[in-house]
Amino acid sequence: MRRLWGRLNSVNVQKAVWGLEELGLAYERVEAGGAFGRVREPAYLALNPNGLVPVLEEDGYVLWESNAILRYLARGHGAGALWPEGARARGHVDQWLDWQAGTFTPAMRDVFWQTVRTAPAAQDAAIIARSVAEAEACAAILEAHLRGRAYAVGEDFTAADIALGCAAHRWLHLDVARVERPALRDWYARISARPAARGALPPLS
Protein backbone atom coordinates (compact mmCIF):
# COMPACT_ATOMS: atom_id res chain seq x y z
CA MET A 1 0.00 0.00 0.00
CA ARG A 2 1.25 3.46 -0.86
CA ARG A 3 0.03 6.53 1.05
CA LEU A 4 0.96 10.18 0.66
CA TRP A 5 0.24 12.55 3.51
CA GLY A 6 -0.28 16.20 2.65
CA ARG A 7 -2.62 18.90 1.40
CA LEU A 8 -2.57 19.74 -2.30
CA ASN A 9 -2.08 23.50 -1.79
CA SER A 10 1.44 22.75 -0.54
CA VAL A 11 4.05 23.18 -3.26
CA ASN A 12 6.01 20.32 -1.73
CA VAL A 13 3.06 17.95 -1.81
CA GLN A 14 2.40 18.97 -5.42
CA LYS A 15 5.82 17.64 -6.41
CA ALA A 16 5.13 14.23 -4.90
CA VAL A 17 1.63 14.05 -6.39
CA TRP A 18 2.92 14.99 -9.85
CA GLY A 19 5.63 12.34 -9.61
CA LEU A 20 3.19 9.63 -8.55
CA GLU A 21 0.74 10.58 -11.29
CA GLU A 22 3.46 10.81 -13.94
CA LEU A 23 4.59 7.28 -13.11
CA GLY A 24 1.06 5.89 -12.93
CA LEU A 25 1.55 4.61 -9.38
CA ALA A 26 -1.47 3.77 -7.25
CA TYR A 27 -1.63 5.72 -4.00
CA GLU A 28 -3.97 7.15 -1.38
CA ARG A 29 -3.54 10.80 -0.43
CA VAL A 30 -4.45 11.76 3.12
CA GLU A 31 -5.15 15.43 3.82
CA ALA A 32 -2.70 16.78 6.39
CA GLY A 33 -1.11 20.09 7.26
CA GLY A 34 -2.52 23.61 7.21
CA ALA A 35 -6.26 23.69 7.81
CA PHE A 36 -6.34 19.88 7.99
CA GLY A 37 -4.08 19.66 11.03
CA ARG A 38 -2.75 16.20 12.02
CA VAL A 39 0.91 17.10 11.66
CA ARG A 40 1.38 17.72 15.40
CA GLU A 41 -0.36 14.54 16.44
CA PRO A 42 1.91 11.86 17.97
CA ALA A 43 1.06 9.35 15.25
CA TYR A 44 2.11 11.79 12.53
CA LEU A 45 5.23 12.94 14.35
CA ALA A 46 6.24 9.29 14.54
CA LEU A 47 6.30 9.38 10.73
CA ASN A 48 7.96 12.80 10.40
CA PRO A 49 9.37 14.42 13.55
CA ASN A 50 9.49 17.76 11.71
CA GLY A 51 5.69 17.89 11.58
CA LEU A 52 5.75 18.84 7.89
CA VAL A 53 4.24 17.51 4.67
CA PRO A 54 4.59 15.49 2.54
CA VAL A 55 5.30 12.05 3.93
CA LEU A 56 5.30 8.93 1.77
CA GLU A 57 4.45 5.54 3.26
CA GLU A 58 5.07 2.47 1.14
CA ASP A 59 4.66 -1.01 2.62
CA GLY A 60 6.17 0.03 5.94
CA TYR A 61 8.81 2.30 4.42
CA VAL A 62 8.52 5.96 5.45
CA LEU A 63 10.15 8.88 3.65
CA TRP A 64 9.89 12.64 4.15
CA GLU A 65 11.35 15.69 2.36
CA SER A 66 9.63 16.35 -0.95
CA ASN A 67 12.65 16.15 -3.23
CA ALA A 68 13.83 12.98 -1.50
CA ILE A 69 10.39 11.52 -2.25
CA LEU A 70 10.61 12.70 -5.86
CA ARG A 71 14.07 11.19 -6.26
CA TYR A 72 12.96 7.92 -4.69
CA LEU A 73 9.98 7.62 -7.01
CA ALA A 74 11.99 8.61 -10.08
CA ARG A 75 14.89 6.29 -9.35
CA GLY A 76 12.72 3.37 -8.36
CA HIS A 77 10.02 3.63 -11.00
CA GLY A 78 11.17 6.12 -13.61
CA ALA A 79 14.72 5.07 -14.54
CA GLY A 80 15.36 6.20 -18.08
CA ALA A 81 12.32 8.48 -17.94
CA LEU A 82 11.99 10.81 -14.95
CA TRP A 83 15.47 9.67 -13.93
CA PRO A 84 17.71 9.77 -17.01
CA GLU A 85 20.53 7.40 -17.86
CA GLY A 86 24.05 8.68 -17.37
CA ALA A 87 25.79 10.16 -14.35
CA ARG A 88 26.10 13.63 -15.88
CA ALA A 89 22.41 13.92 -16.77
CA ARG A 90 21.50 12.70 -13.30
CA GLY A 91 23.88 15.23 -11.82
CA HIS A 92 22.03 18.00 -13.64
CA VAL A 93 18.68 16.70 -12.41
CA ASP A 94 20.04 16.80 -8.86
CA GLN A 95 21.43 20.28 -9.47
CA TRP A 96 18.01 21.68 -10.42
CA LEU A 97 16.21 19.81 -7.64
CA ASP A 98 18.56 21.35 -5.10
CA TRP A 99 18.31 24.81 -6.69
CA GLN A 100 14.53 24.70 -6.62
CA ALA A 101 14.43 23.71 -2.95
CA GLY A 102 17.29 25.86 -1.74
CA THR A 103 17.06 28.98 -3.91
CA PHE A 104 13.97 29.51 -6.08
CA THR A 105 11.19 28.51 -3.69
CA PRO A 106 12.75 30.28 -0.67
CA ALA A 107 13.13 33.45 -2.76
CA MET A 108 9.40 33.67 -3.38
CA ARG A 109 8.25 32.41 0.01
CA ASP A 110 7.56 35.83 1.51
CA VAL A 111 5.69 37.22 -1.50
CA PHE A 112 3.56 34.08 -1.56
CA TRP A 113 2.70 34.28 2.11
CA GLN A 114 2.10 38.02 1.97
CA THR A 115 -0.14 38.05 -1.12
CA VAL A 116 -1.91 34.69 -0.83
CA ARG A 117 -2.12 33.82 2.85
CA THR A 118 -2.09 37.21 4.56
CA ALA A 119 -5.07 39.55 4.77
CA PRO A 120 -4.57 42.66 2.57
CA ALA A 121 -4.56 45.03 5.55
CA ALA A 122 -1.68 43.11 7.13
CA GLN A 123 0.51 42.82 4.04
CA ASP A 124 3.95 44.45 4.10
CA ALA A 125 4.89 46.12 0.81
CA ALA A 126 8.61 46.16 1.64
CA ILE A 127 8.67 42.43 2.31
CA ILE A 128 6.77 41.77 -0.91
CA ALA A 129 9.11 43.96 -2.96
CA ARG A 130 12.23 42.29 -1.56
CA SER A 131 10.87 38.80 -2.19
CA VAL A 132 9.76 39.69 -5.72
CA ALA A 133 13.26 40.99 -6.49
CA GLU A 134 14.85 37.79 -5.19
CA ALA A 135 12.42 35.64 -7.15
CA GLU A 136 12.99 37.69 -10.30
CA ALA A 137 16.71 36.96 -10.08
CA CYS A 138 15.88 33.26 -9.97
CA ALA A 139 13.39 33.54 -12.81
CA ALA A 140 16.10 35.23 -14.90
CA ILE A 141 18.42 32.26 -14.30
CA LEU A 142 15.71 29.82 -15.30
CA GLU A 143 14.80 31.89 -18.36
CA ALA A 144 18.40 31.87 -19.59
CA HIS A 145 18.72 28.14 -19.02
CA LEU A 146 15.46 27.24 -20.76
CA ARG A 147 16.05 29.38 -23.83
CA GLY A 148 16.24 26.96 -26.77
CA ARG A 149 15.42 23.94 -24.58
CA ALA A 150 12.28 21.83 -24.43
CA TYR A 151 12.98 20.58 -20.90
CA ALA A 152 15.22 21.38 -17.97
CA VAL A 153 17.69 18.51 -18.53
CA GLY A 154 18.36 16.89 -21.88
CA GLU A 155 15.71 16.16 -24.48
CA ASP A 156 13.16 14.53 -22.21
CA PHE A 157 10.89 15.41 -19.30
CA THR A 158 12.53 14.53 -15.97
CA ALA A 159 12.07 14.93 -12.22
CA ALA A 160 13.79 18.31 -12.57
CA ASP A 161 10.84 19.57 -14.62
CA ILE A 162 8.44 18.47 -11.88
CA ALA A 163 10.25 20.30 -9.08
CA LEU A 164 10.91 23.40 -11.14
CA GLY A 165 7.42 23.26 -12.62
CA CYS A 166 5.74 23.33 -9.22
CA ALA A 167 7.84 26.33 -8.22
CA ALA A 168 7.12 28.07 -11.52
CA HIS A 169 3.40 27.38 -11.10
CA ARG A 170 3.49 29.32 -7.85
CA TRP A 171 5.62 32.16 -9.22
CA LEU A 172 3.65 32.64 -12.43
CA HIS A 173 0.29 32.77 -10.63
CA LEU A 174 1.16 35.25 -7.90
CA ASP A 175 -0.74 38.52 -8.14
CA VAL A 176 2.35 40.68 -8.69
CA ALA A 177 4.00 42.42 -11.62
CA ARG A 178 6.68 40.24 -13.19
CA VAL A 179 9.25 40.60 -15.95
CA GLU A 180 8.01 38.69 -18.99
CA ARG A 181 10.05 35.54 -19.50
CA PRO A 182 9.00 33.90 -22.80
CA ALA A 183 11.17 30.80 -22.51
CA LEU A 184 9.95 30.19 -18.98
CA ARG A 185 6.33 30.73 -20.05
CA ASP A 186 6.63 28.38 -23.02
CA TRP A 187 8.29 25.65 -20.96
CA TYR A 188 5.71 25.99 -18.18
CA ALA A 189 2.84 25.79 -20.70
CA ARG A 190 4.39 22.65 -22.19
CA ILE A 191 4.89 20.76 -18.94
CA SER A 192 1.71 21.91 -17.19
CA ALA A 193 -0.34 20.55 -20.10
CA ARG A 194 0.78 17.03 -19.26
CA PRO A 195 -2.12 14.92 -17.92
CA ALA A 196 -0.24 14.16 -14.69
CA ALA A 197 0.22 17.87 -13.99
CA ARG A 198 -3.44 18.80 -14.15
CA GLY A 199 -4.40 17.26 -10.83
CA ALA A 200 -1.18 18.30 -9.13
CA LEU A 201 -1.29 22.06 -9.77
CA PRO A 202 -4.41 23.64 -8.26
CA PRO A 203 -5.04 27.39 -8.04
CA LEU A 204 -2.95 29.10 -5.37
CA SER A 205 -4.44 29.08 -1.91
Name the E strands within the chain: 2-5, 28-30, 55-58, 61-64
Cα of 202 vs its chain's centroid, Å: 12
In this predicted structure, what is the pLDDT of residue 163? 98
For the chain, residues with pLDDT lower than 50 are: none
Q: Please tell me whether the overall predicted TM-score, pTM, comes out greater than 0.95 for this model.
A: yes
Length of the chain: 205
CA distance 93 to 152: 8
Domain boundaries, the chain: 2-77, 87-197
Q: Which residues contact 74 (CB under 8 A, 6 or more apart)?
A: 19, 23, 81, 82, 83, 93, 158, 159
- CA–CA gap between residue 144 and residue 146 (Å, rounded): 6
Check residue 81 and give its pLDDT.
Answer: 80
**Architecture (CATH level 2) of domain 2-77:** 3-Layer(aba) Sandwich (3.40)
Closest by CA to 6, choosing from 47, 97, 23, 100, is 47
> Would you state the pLDDT for residue 80?
76
Position 157 scores a pLDDT of 97
How far apart are alpha carbons 4 and 28 in whole angstroms?
Answer: 6
Q: Does domain 87-197 have CATH number 1.20.1050.10?
A: yes
**What b/e string do you get for 10-20 counting C-beta neighbours within 10 Å, with b at 16 or more?**
bbbbbbbbbbb
pLDDT at 41: 98
Starting from the edge strand earliest in sequence, which strands make up the sheet with 2-5, in order? 28-30, 2-5, 55-58, 61-64
Task: Give the pLDDT score at 101.
Answer: 98
Residue type, 199: G
Q: Nearest to residue 15, comparing CAs of 145, 133, 159, 151?
A: 159
Q: What angle do CA 152, 157, 163 make, to 5 degrees?
A: 60
